[in-house]
Chain A
Amino acid sequence: MNILAYLIPISLILGGIGLAGFVYTLKSRQYEDPDGDAERILSGRWDNHPKP
């Protein structure tokens, strides 16, 4: 059962990374236009280089 000493912290850290990622997307306002983002992937406009 000693494996738990590794597994539990690992699961918490992985979950924490996910949470931190979500907090980042929220703070950088990536949920302002969900419909638009869903459609934008269909447009090839900024395929070769990101929008400046």
Chain B
Amino acid sequence: MAGQISACPACIAAPSAEDIAARAAQQDHNIALSVPGIHCAACIATVERALERTPGVKSARVNLTLKRATIDAEANVQTDQLIDVLAKTGYEAHELDSSQLAATQTDKAGRDLLMRLAVAGFAMMNVMLLSIAVWSGADGATRDMFHWISAFITLPVIAFSAQPFFRNAFTALRAGRLNMDVPISLAILLAVGTSLYETWASGHHAYFDAAVSLTFFLLAGRYLDYRTRAIARSAAEELAALEVPRAIRLGKDGSEEVVPVAQLAVGDIIRIKPGGRLPIDGQLITGTSELDLSLLTGETLPVPVEPGAQLNAGAVNLTGVLDLRATAVGRDTSLHRLAQLVAVAESGRAQYNSLADQAAALYAPGVHILSALAFAFWWIWSQDLRMAINIAAAVLIITCPCALGLAVPAVTTAASGRLFKKGMLIKNATALERLARVDTVVFDKTGTLTTGQLQLDNKSDFAPEALAIARALANGSAHPLAQAIWRQTQADDLPQVTLVDAREIPGHGIEGQLSNGCRVALGRADWLGGVPQARTATWLKIGGAPAQPFTFIDSPRDGAAAAVAALHAANIQVHLLSGDAEAPVADLAKMLGITQWRAGVLPEEKSAHIQHLRDAGAHVLMVGDGLNDTVALAAADVSISPASALDAARVASDIVLLGADLRPIADAVLLARKATKRIRENFQIATVYNVIAVPIAIVGLATPLMAALAMSASSITVSLNALRLGRVKAGEPQ
């Protein structure tokens, strides 16, 4: 086509270059969409079918585990188009930045661990079969042969599968530390070493099965642990990928160019369209508009801006087109400086000592001392080095931390799996334990307890004619107040109004004329001569009559009241701290039944409030979403932020709430308490097994059969105890 309209005949004669260019443009590209609403087989089929029916889409595949759709499409297919297609079928979808997701798509470490686990499992089954023959009475040459076959299976398998333990133990020893992997590696090596010697000397007891099953169970614990963290990491990456950071840069000739935010430099002129978020700090050159600063300060009232104003990154442009000259980009923006403040607050947060660390600190030196003492005692007593080493090895094998290695990961996997189903993402490994101790919850208001979406409050004060005029004026405006009016009057049966010459005046409002020539306007108080109100409001002026205010309230999120009630029921104090004005905060606190609230709180005051609570001995959970909350999020014992929060707030928090509903917060606290109880129980179970088995091993009566029984029984009881947590009771919503 382009060739035909070309003025140059040579171009038509030589279409090859054009063909090549066209082919490059036609090249398929991958689009990744996050579709949080899919949950069943029917959803998968609907989404895939809708996408595949879209022209230009070659194939679409839904990954239910990650709640993600991957689309292979021709180059001319726009992501927005696909999001619209899904929105029409009833599924909310968001674009994902595929470069941010690269890390999760090749999960090499996970597959590596799984491979080692499978090999260890294979060896365990075979060696166990041979060992059962020995235990049931194989003798003499048959026993020796079985031992040799076991040895040939075990040696290469240990060399391959137990590598992660050896490597960790080696690193720890070189750094002069002692971790769980040191006794594990020692137990495995001693078991294999003594068994090889026994086999060679035609001895009775060989612990090849113990060495392999030890490796298997511990790898299973490692893998569970890894999975939990990998799921959290991939979901966190997905959240980061949701914000595709691009900006419009203006060229010298005024041309617009879309560039990644990372490429912006100080002095560049950036254009921000209505609805866009400021990626940089800058000085406003042209344009008037209103800015939504709620993510920065918590204030719901839009702030008008005029040329010359200094604007901060993170604000959202509401009405007019703004051109800014960048004064700070990237790390120097006020947004990033705040992130540094968070880092300081976090380093101040007392290093939490997890239950697993506490157990390891007791366990690792304990078993070494025990087995060394057993060795020394038997060597001095009997002067028999071989027997002393055998007994020391038996002590190490029997005290094997199988149950300890599974105790924490099995529970955290079950708990995070269940919380993930409820729409919560645990980012930090010890977050559950910290959450279990919470006795005070501090909420932010705007965007956390409320949706940040305004609702018209006093519709009944207006006559249908006035409402119809307001609706006509609001139609098509991007301003949140106008949109709220439009949304809430859209379905009403109002008289028809035709506006002539309606136009939006950025930073002020919308004006127009009725067909009878009467001038009407919807906008700010100072523009229309209204009386400023304490709450968020916009004014309607019809002809010469005085302007009348529409007032708005910020509607609470789904489940906000239920979550607060559930927290109260669990004997947890609830506080509300907001940067917003007093009237809306008081309204909301009353609506949700929160008695302890403060309005107009500065970010530093928020963290000071939390510090004060913590000094008084409280364990504080902070729930917040804005930039003004980040320091408080980092200062609290544990913190939750909604997925709609600013990047900085999400980074500072331990748990991210993926859905819009707040109810899971109360559930999470209760579940965390249960999970911590299970972890403690698991440690007790493991201790009981050791209390019984260790004396037997020390007096030299342990047999490989006993070791195998103790090891398997303790590991299985611990896992089953953990699984009780993951079970969803009948009738309970998932």
Interface residues in chain A, defined as those with a beta carbon under 8 Å from any beta carbon in chain B: 1, 4, 8, 11-12, 15-16, 18-19, 22-23, 26, 31-36, 39-43, 45
Q: For the complex of A and B, list the 5 residue pairs with the smallest distance between their C-beta atoms, beginning with the closest.
A: A36-B64, A42-B41, A39-B41, A19-B122, A35-B64
Give 6 A-B pairs besides A26-B115, A36-B65, A42-B41 with Cβ atoms closer than 8 angstroms: A1-B142, A8-B149, A33-B65, A41-B41, A43-B45, A45-B45
Q: List the A residue with the shortest CB-CB distance to B111.
A: A26
Chain B interface residue count, CB cutoff 8 Å, equals 23
Interface residues in chain B, defined as those with a beta carbon under 8 Å from any beta carbon in chain A: 40-42, 44-45, 62-66, 111, 114-115, 118-119, 122, 125-126, 129-130, 142, 149, 153
Is A23 a contact of B44 with CB atoms below 8 Å? no
**Residues of chain B with a CB closer than 8 A to A15's CB:** 122, 125-126
Is B63 a contact of A22 with CB atoms below 8 Å? no
**Residues of chain B with a CB closer than 8 A to A32's CB:** 63, 65
Is B119 a contact of A19 with CB atoms below 8 Å? yes
**Residues of chain B with a CB closer than 8 A to A40's CB:** 41, 44
**Residues of chain B with a CB closer than 8 A to A42's CB:** 41
Q: How far is the CB of B709 from chain A (nearest CB, A)?
A: 22
Is B66 a contact of A33 with CB atoms below 8 Å? yes
Is B126 a contact of A36 with CB atoms below 8 Å? no
> Given A33-B65, A35-B65, A36-B62, does the pair A43, B122 have CB atoms closer than 8 Å?
no
> Given A1-B142, A33-B64, A36-B63, does the pair A19, B118 have CB atoms closer than 8 Å?
yes
* Candidates B41, B66, B122; contact of A18 at CB < 8 Å: B122
Is A34 a contact of B65 with CB atoms below 8 Å? yes
Q: How far is the CB of A38 from chain B (nearest CB, A)?
A: 8
Q: List the A residue with the shortest CB-CB distance to B68.
A: A33
**Residues of chain B with a CB closer than 8 A to A18's CB:** 122
Is A16 a contact of B122 with CB atoms below 8 Å? yes
Is B125 a contact of A43 with CB atoms below 8 Å? no
Q: List the B residue with the shortest CB-CB distance to A34.
A: B65
**Residues of chain A with a CB closer than 8 A to B129's CB:** 11
A3 to B108 CA separation, bound complex (whole angstroms): 43
Q: How far is the CB of A25 from chain B (nearest CB, A)?
A: 10
A-B contact pairs, 29 of them (CB 8 A): A1-B142, A8-B130, A8-B149, A11-B126, A11-B129, A12-B126, A12-B153, A15-B122, A16-B122, A18-B122, A19-B119, A23-B115, A26-B111, A32-B63, A32-B65, A33-B63, A33-B65, A33-B66, A35-B65, A36-B44, A36-B63, A39-B41, A39-B44, A39-B64, A41-B41, A42-B41, A43-B42, A43-B44, A43-B45
Is A31 a contact of B114 with CB atoms below 8 Å? yes
Q: List the A residue with the shortest CB-CB distance to B129.
A: A11
A47 to B64 CA separation, bound complex (whole angstroms): 20
Q: List the B residue with the shortest CB-CB distance to A52.
A: B59
A36 to B38 CA separation, bound complex (whole angstroms): 10
Is B118 a contact of A22 with CB atoms below 8 Å? yes
**Residues of chain A with a CB closer than 8 A to B64's CB:** 33, 35-36, 39
Q: List the A residue with the shortest CB-CB distance to B106.
A: A29
**Residues of chain A with a CB closer than 8 A to B142's CB:** 1, 4
A11 to B153 CA separation, bound complex (whole angstroms): 13
Q: List the A residue with the shortest CB-CB distance to B125.
A: A15
A3 to B42 CA separation, bound complex (whole angstroms): 54
A33 to B118 CA separation, bound complex (whole angstroms): 19
Q: How far is the CB of B447 from chain A (nearest CB, A)?
A: 30
**Residues of chain A with a CB closer than 8 A to B149's CB:** 8
Is A39 a contact of B122 with CB atoms below 8 Å? no
A26 to B444 CA separation, bound complex (whole angstroms): 45
* Candidates B40, B115, B118, B130; contact of A39 at CB < 8 Å: B40
A22 to B63 CA separation, bound complex (whole angstroms): 21
A26 to B66 CA separation, bound complex (whole angstroms): 18
Q: List the A residue with the shortest CB-CB distance to B64.
A: A36
**Residues of chain B with a CB closer than 8 A to A11's CB:** 126, 129
**Residues of chain A with a CB closer than 8 A to B42's CB:** 43
A22 to B119 CA separation, bound complex (whole angstroms): 10
Is A23 a contact of B126 with CB atoms below 8 Å? no
**Residues of chain A with a CB closer than 8 A to B122's CB:** 15-16, 18-19
A35 to B142 CA separation, bound complex (whole angstroms): 47
Is A26 a contact of B126 with CB atoms below 8 Å? no
**Residues of chain A with a CB closer than 8 A to B41's CB:** 39-43
**Residues of chain A with a CB closer than 8 A to B130's CB:** 8
A6 to B321 CA separation, bound complex (whole angstroms): 82
**Residues of chain B with a CB closer than 8 A to A22's CB:** 118
A8 to B44 CA separation, bound complex (whole angstroms): 46
A27 to B63 CA separation, bound complex (whole angstroms): 18
Most central of B41, B119, B142 by chain A CB within 10 Å:
B41
> Given A15-B126, A42-B41, does the pair A23, B66 have CB atoms closer than 8 Å?
no
A41 to B64 CA separation, bound complex (whole angstroms): 13
Q: List the A residue with the shortest CB-CB distance to B138.
A: A1
Q: How far is the CB of B16 from chain A (nearest CB, A)?
A: 32
**Residues of chain A with a CB closer than 8 A to B62's CB:** 36
Is A26 a contact of B114 with CB atoms below 8 Å? yes
Q: List the A residue with the shortest CB-CB distance to B43.
A: A39
Q: How far is the CB of A29 from chain B (nearest CB, A)?
A: 8
Q: How far is the CB of A21 from chain B (nearest CB, A)?
A: 10
A40 to B111 CA separation, bound complex (whole angstroms): 23
A15 to B212 CA separation, bound complex (whole angstroms): 15
Q: List the B residue with the shortest CB-CB distance to A18.
A: B122
A39 to B38 CA separation, bound complex (whole angstroms): 11
**Residues of chain B with a CB closer than 8 A to A12's CB:** 126, 153
Q: List the A residue with the shortest CB-CB distance to B45.
A: A43
Q: List the B residue with the shortest CB-CB distance to A19.
A: B122
A18 to B66 CA separation, bound complex (whole angstroms): 28
Q: How far is the CB of A20 from chain B (nearest CB, A)?
A: 10
A48 to B66 CA separation, bound complex (whole angstroms): 28
**Residues of chain A with a CB closer than 8 A to B66's CB:** 33
A45 to B52 CA separation, bound complex (whole angstroms): 13
A20 to B122 CA separation, bound complex (whole angstroms): 10
A33 to B104 CA separation, bound complex (whole angstroms): 13
**Residues of chain A with a CB closer than 8 A to B119's CB:** 19
Q: List the A residue with the shortest CB-CB distance to B142.
A: A1
Q: How far is the CB of B95 from chain A (nearest CB, A)?
A: 20
A48 to B324 CA separation, bound complex (whole angstroms): 59
**Residues of chain B with a CB closer than 8 A to A43's CB:** 41-42, 44-45
Q: How far is the CB of B416 from chain A (nearest CB, A)?
A: 15
A26 to B111 CA separation, bound complex (whole angstroms): 7
